[in-house]
Amino acid sequence: MKNYRGAVLLMVPGIGIVLAFLVLPLANVVEESFRLFEPGRIGAAKDAPYTLFNYAELLNTNYLYYFVETARIGLIASITGLILGFPIAYFITRRLRAIWRKIAIGFLVGIMFISTLIRVYALQLTFGPTGIAKILSGLLGVSMNGRFYTELIVIFGLLHYLVPIAAITLLGTIQNINPRLSEAAQALGASRWMAHLSITVPLCIPGLLSAFLISFTLCLSAFVVPMILGKGKILFVSNLIYARFSEISNYPSGSAISIIMLVLSLAIIYGVTYVVSKRLVKY
């Protein structure tokens, strides 16, 4: 235990990987984000002057729109995911016998583990022109090539991943709530739905918050879902970064967007984690 030289040696590979493949590249992105870009080049010139233009440009409503859209669609998907995931988690923990519970959990984990690509392609086949696009868009009274239907399919794409994750996150929370509490409320005269609203749901708030946090951050960094299912009509911030690279090679602008996205994601994750941990102390 006192062998500190051995300890340092063991840390070398990990620190090396993180330095070379994460810290230095990110530092380079920060540097690049302040460089002036001349259209037509690939990336900024070596001696390009420093500028705040790449950040200032993002305040333009056109760009701000991508951030707002990403957050709006992410919010809708996350909250819907919680609403659908909660009853499933409750049902699995409270209503199923051990063997079925294991099968149900296995099913959820299986759905969660399915490759994003398979998921996206399956949804495209099902809700696209080869599937029920005509019927569903007809029912909703919208065009199947319109923006509303596309947005709906993007949300479906997010939900297919978020529902199992939300349900699995909430399993633990619900398991930790004593079922006698809800029974006690009913014995004291509350109806079942009252007991749920006044006892179970408030006790689940920390779990709901962390499930929401996980869902929302996954939405913010979603890439494949809007890229394939959005068909160019719906673009998330991550798609914008990719477009900066693949379409116009404007690396400085891509860098600035990356930095903003990184800061926003980390702020949300660590901020909400802090709030959740503070709240948890109360119970």
Contact 84, 161 (CB under 8 A): no
Q: How far is the CB of 117 from another protein (least distance, A)?
A: 5
- Per CB under 8 A, the list member of 155, 203, 204, 261 interacting with another protein is 261
216: how many CB neighbours lie within 10 A of its CB?
21
* Subset of 18-57 contacting another protein (CB under 8 A): 18, 20-26, 28-29, 32, 43
Q: Which stretch binds another protein (CB under 8 A): 56-64, 130-138, 140-148, 177-185?
A: 130-138
- Distance, in Å, from the CA atom of 264 to the CA atom of 258, rounded to the nearest integer, reads 10
- Distance, in Å, from the CA atom of 144 to the CA atom of 128, rounded to the nearest integer, reads 8
- Among 205, 211, 212, 209, which Cα is nearest to 282's? 205
- Among 102, 128, 116, which Cα is nearest to 161's? 116
- Per CB under 8 A, the list member of 66, 67, 156, 212 interacting with another protein is 156
- Per CB under 8 A, the list member of 48, 233, 265, 275 interacting with another protein is 265
Q: Which stretch binds another protein (CB under 8 A): 48-56, 61-69, 80-88, 138-146?
A: 80-88
Q: Contact between 139 and another protein (CB under 8 A)?
A: no
Q: How far is CA 80 from CA 73, 169, 212, 213, 242, in A?
A: 11, 15, 10, 13, 28
Q: Contact between 67 and another protein (CB under 8 A)?
A: no
Q: Contact between 216 and another protein (CB under 8 A)?
A: no
* Subset of 104-123 contacting another protein (CB under 8 A): 105-106, 109-111, 113-123
Q: Contact between 149 and another protein (CB under 8 A)?
A: no
Closest CB to another protein among 143 and 191?
191
- Distance, in Å, from the CA atom of 51 to the CA atom of 84, rounded to the nearest integer, reads 47
Q: Contact between 78 and another protein (CB under 8 A)?
A: no
